Amino acid sequence: MKIGILSRRPQIYSTRRLEEAAQEHGHEVHVIDPLRCYVNITSHSPAVYYRGERLEGFDAIIPRIGASITFYGTAVVRQFEMMGVSTLNKSVAINRSRDKLRSLQLLAQKGIGLPVTGFAHSTKFTRELIDLVGGAPLVVKLLEGTQGLGVVLAETDKAAESVIEAFRGLKANFLVQEYIGESKGCDIRCFVVGKKVVAAMMRTCKEGEFRSNLHRGGTAIPVKITPEERSTAVRAARIMGLNVAGVDILRSNHGPVVLEVNSSPGLEGIENATGKDIAGSIIKFVEDNAAS
């Protein structure tokens, strides 16, 4: 097969591993920077050009679109879809997953367990919003945040009010969420490929932190997940329409709750923690599902 990996950074672990795995499986693989692509939007002959050349003959595209380039990156993915090329995650699903509020609404509608979450525009209802999620301690999250940035734990109602007012003053969109203290600073990343969780790791936050993101100094170990966690992760990915997803789950007193469904989950942390060949599983999925 001829496979394109859409990534801005050929040298990072995830891109390298996918490239390697594709080669090991005997495929021709090209790493393409989506920001250097330009597209021709016509009905008879849609095309993507890269460094002056028309891209042709691709059987499948693996999008690795970072949050900062969602708009242009997904436009390029969509253009490949218009050309009839199979894309591992569809552009519409990537866009959906990038909007935290929309994602939570879709997951809630389908009965996926979530932390109690509130959202409001008006400054008049700060107190009501705090009460809605059961009061402090609570978590305030910027909708645009990634890798734990813009996620704040407010330990008292007073602190929560101050953070909410500060975010409002900055005209930022944010969520207010029940704090799942019983997870004790640990979350579970389930790596979903197709209808399976191919690997799972537990991330634990560093001392004095409540966010377990590896970018925030968290550490990861492999974890055995329960059947309920497994089915929650697979269902969450399916509801978002993602074939490959990193589903973040907290173990709460009311069962597994989903924090987020990531459409370009990193491979380094989870391959290192679990020793599994996740890049190989992704390529296998591409082989089995790309229309030939």
Shortest distance (Å) from residue 3 CB to ligand ADP: 28
Residues facing residue 5 across a β-bridge: 31, 62
d(CA 229, CA 234) in angstroms, rounded, equals: 9
**Dist CA 129 CA 164 (whole Å):** 10
For the chain, how big is the Rg over CA atoms in Å?
20
Closer CB to ligand ADP, 76 or 154, in the complex: 154
Q: Which is nearer to ligand ADP, 8 or 141 (CB)?
A: 141
Between 147 and 156, whose beta carbon lies closer to ligand ADP?
147
Beta carbon of residue 66, minimum distance to ligand ADP (angstroms, whole number): 13
- Nearest partner of 60 among 37, 99, 32, judged by Cα: 32
Give the DSSP H or E segment for 269: helix 268-274
Crossing angle, helix 91-98 and helix 227-240, to 10 degrees? Answer: 110
Instruction: Compute the least distance from the CB of residue 230 to ligand ADP, in Å.
Output: 19
Q: How far apart are CA 43 and CA 82, in angstroms?
A: 9
User: Phi and psi dihedrals of 73, rounded to 5?
Assistant: -60, -45
* Minimum CB distance to ligand ADP smaller for 39 or for 180: 180
* Least distance (Å) between residue 192 CB and ligand ADP: 16
Nearer to ligand ADP, 46 or 185 (CB): 185
Shortest separation between residue 103's beta carbon and ligand ADP, angstroms:
10
Q: Which is nearer to ligand ADP, 212 or 274 (CB)?
A: 212
Task: Name the residues that contact ligand ADP, by CB under 6 A.
Answer: 115, 139, 141, 145-148, 151, 177-180, 183, 187, 210-213, 248, 250, 259-260
Q: How many helices (H) and strands (E) does the chain have?
A: 9, 16
Closest contact distance (angstroms) between CB of 180 and ligand ADP is 4
Residue 201, classified by CB atoms within 10 Å of its CB into exposed (0-12), middle (13-18) or buried (19+), is buried
